[in-house]
Amino acid sequence: MATLYEFKGVYYISCYFKGRRYRRSTGCRTARAAKIAVAECEERIQRGEHPFESGPVGFDELVSSYLEYCERFNALRTVYIKRIYCQRFAGHFGKIPINIIDRGDLERYLRSRNGAGATTVNREYATLRNMLNYAVDRGWLKASPANRIKLLPEEHRPPRILTGEELSCYFDWCRENDPLLYDLSTVAFNTALRPSDILKIRGEDVDTANASLCVRVKKLRGKLKFLPLNKAALEVLSRRKGEYGDFLFPGRYDGAQTDFKRRFNRAIRATGIEGFTFGQFRHNCAMALRRRGVDIYTLKELLGHASVTTTEAAYLPIEPDRQREAVNLLDERS
């Protein structure tokens, strides 16, 4: 039977094998990861194998173990994306032992992905780095070869801000042709919530008496967030709360709406709006508040950013009207 204990922030395993006691560091600093290492140690003892001494781990074994770890602690969407990345990794590295993979091998893989965009390549590299750090925590590697590899420069374009005419055209079309999309868009534009958070709103989350909404924000790891509701958002959510018992935007599968993107794409094509996504309603809400004089700190709390620098970096550079007003001051003669 293997036991787990902590020393100076690192978890260690103590066990007996063939009458001798063995102790070994798991390399893990979290109890959840260390418990996985203990379970595998006990399985090796039951099979009559040495609990710690084993041959080099192949890259295919690392992929399998890493995905199993992700399934326990990551969201389904995250696991789905990592599976796609790991298939690409496995096709490139195969079954070679991970202890012979060096920085040059990783850089060659990244160069082989030049056909993909910079954002995609950087996300794949982040997953690969996380996988190798997982191998270090498990004791399969002494150090990760993914350190100090530079990310590719990404082009961050400012979000598409709709004009008043475009907004009116879009909402008028939705009101007449797709009431569900109209309600979704109204809530998105008036609360600055992400689509994934809107689709999970339940009737119990809406407090009509105090005109507020309580949601679990996915980006904040399920942290509760309380939002005040204006008249437009409160009217939509109160009406849907009276019509539906559980999810306010029900769908065909797990209870939440799933085909809103198809509806949204149809609306965009019908109204002729280009370069706009549903998630950008959040940015349009933020910019509408900025134009009405809302300070950056209030905006940071509303958007749920961890730091005000995130809010400043996202929204201060895309205020052309204010920049133009500042430049026009130079034309005034004293």
From first to last of its 334 residues, the chain has per-residue pLDDT tens of 788 888 877 888 888 877 778 787 776 777 877 888 888 888 888 877 777 666 678 888 899 999 998 888 887 778 888 999 999 998 888 888 888 888 888 888 888 887 778 888 888 899 999 999 998 888 788 888 888 787 777 776 777 888 889 999 999 999 999 999 999 999 999 998 888 888 888 888 899 899 999 887 766 666 777 888 999 999 999 998 888 767 888 765 555 556 778 889 999 999 999 889 888 898 898 888 888 888 888 888 888 777 777 777 766 655 555 666 666 777 765 4
Domain count of the chain? 3
Tell me: do 232 and 258 sit in the same domain: yes
Evaluate whether 212 touches 226 at the Cβ level (below 8 Å): yes
Tell me: do 129 and 278 sit in the same domain: no
Domain that holds residue 274: 164-324
Evaluate whether 170 touches 162 at the Cβ level (below 8 Å): yes
Residues paired with 228 in a beta bridge: 212
The angle at the Cα of 198, spanning 219 to 223, to the nearest 5 degrees, equals 35
Tell me: do 101 and 202 sit in the same domain: no
CATH number of 301's domain: 1.10.443.10
User: In terms of Cα–Cα distance, which of 280, 278, 272, 264 is closest to 177?
Assistant: 264
Tell me: do 201 and 257 sit in the same domain: yes
Q: For the whole model, what pTM was predicted?
A: 0.58
The answer to whether position 55 is within a domain reads: no
Tell me: do 95 and 233 sit in the same domain: no
Tell me: do 312 and 287 sit in the same domain: yes
Tell me: do 181 and 313 sit in the same domain: yes
Tell me: do 119 and 168 sit in the same domain: no
Phi and psi, residue 9, nearest 5°? 85, 0
The answer to whether position 268 is within a domain reads: yes
Tell me: do 313 and 183 sit in the same domain: yes
Tell me: do 277 and 202 sit in the same domain: yes
Tell me: do 181 and 285 sit in the same domain: yes
